[in-house]
Amino acid sequence: AQSVTQLGSHVSVSEGALVLLRCNYSSSVPPYLFWYVQYPNQGLQLLLKYTTGATLVKGINGFEAEFKKSETSFHLTKPSAHMSDAAEYFCAVSESEYSGGGADGLTFGKGTHLIIQP
Amino acid sequence: GAGVSQSPSNKVTEKGKDVELRCDPISGHTALYWYRQSLGQGLEFLIYFQGNSAPDKSGLPSDRFSAERTGGSVSTLTIQRTQQEDSAVYLCASSLHPGLTYEQYFGPGTRLTVT
């Protein structure tokens, strides 16, 4: 069974500093990996996803993530934090493309609340 | 274009009452998903529709939960005899086709409070 662990329920960084949100997964097959962002009172928005191919994935708003199979990690980074980045971030995994399900739901981590200090 | 919409945005109900939550997916999207976001529990997948059919209902928390989709569009999640542990934000998402190569677009959610 697949699972996701996000280290740190809250992460605080200064504006302009590096953002690093950690995500480790457990999967019995090559996973599909996702990062979503949720702004207050809004739905989830896809930041980026890894399916196959290049292990460094670039997403919207300057975020990127690197799939490291040996570390079973998919950490999210951004070189310079903006105040507008303050939100809840969710890492998610799915094996369904390999299990034949084709469209099962995603398994999400519990989320990391990113706080940006001025 | 219009995104995924959900109604009501907030629902307060008494324990034991039934509630219906509605999801309007993006027009033309064939796949529809329901998730539950509980405090401290994160996001939990509930059920998925391909067209009007749900291939797997095992993600529903109990037999008090049911969902249907009609006309390949609107979906309703029904919770019977609500309990306090049902309090959560219920999120709906849709995608153009089934499969994870297609992005899931999420609605703003319905916040359910059971008193």
Burial of B16 (0-12, 13-18, 19+ CB in 10 A): exposed
B-chain CB neighbours of A32 within 8 Å are 100
Q: Is B45 in Cβ contact with A104 (below 8 Å)?
A: yes
Q: How far apart are CA B53 and CA A86, in angstroms?
A: 38
Q: How far apart are CA A19 and CA A4, in angstroms?
A: 19
Q: Is B106 in Cβ contact with A45 (below 8 Å)?
A: yes
- Chain length of chain B: 115
Q: Is B100 in Cβ contact with A94 (below 8 Å)?
A: yes
pLDDT tens digit sequence for A27-53: 877 788 999 999 987 888 999 999 888
Yes or no: say if A65 and A32 are a contact pair by the CB < 8 Å rule: no
Q: Which residues of chain A fall below pLDDT 50?
A: 98-102
Yes or no: say if A40 and A87 are a contact pair by the CB < 8 Å rule: yes
pLDDT tens digit sequence for B39-83: 877 788 899 898 888 877 888 999 999 999 988 899 999 999 999
Q: Is B99 in Cβ contact with A102 (below 8 Å)?
A: yes
The whole-number average pLDDT for the span B95-102 is: 79
Q: What is the pLDDT of residue B1?
A: 55
Continuous segment of H or E residues that includes residue A96? helix A96-99
Query: Which residues of chain B are at the A interface, by a Cβ-Cβ cutoff of 8 Å?
Result: 3-4, 31, 33, 35, 40-48, 50, 55-56, 59, 91, 93, 95, 98-101, 103-109
Q: What is the pLDDT of residue B104?
A: 87
DSSP B104: P
Q: What is the pLDDT of residue B58?
A: 82
pLDDT tens digit sequence for B2-52: 899 999 999 999 999 999 999 999 999 999 999 999 887 778 889 989 888
Percent of the residues in chain A that have a pLDDT greater than 70, as a whole number: 92
Q: What is the pLDDT of residue A96?
A: 61
**Chain A, nearest residue to B109 by Cα:** A43
Beta strands in A60-111 (DSSP E): 64-68, 73-78, 87-94, 107-108
Yes or no: say if B83 and B62 are a contact pair by the CB < 8 Å rule: no
**Chain B, nearest residue to A99 by Cα:** B99
Collect all residues with Cβ–Cβ distance below 8 Å to B108 and sequence separation of at least 6.
A41, A42, A43, B5, B6, B9
CA distance A45 to chain B (A): 7
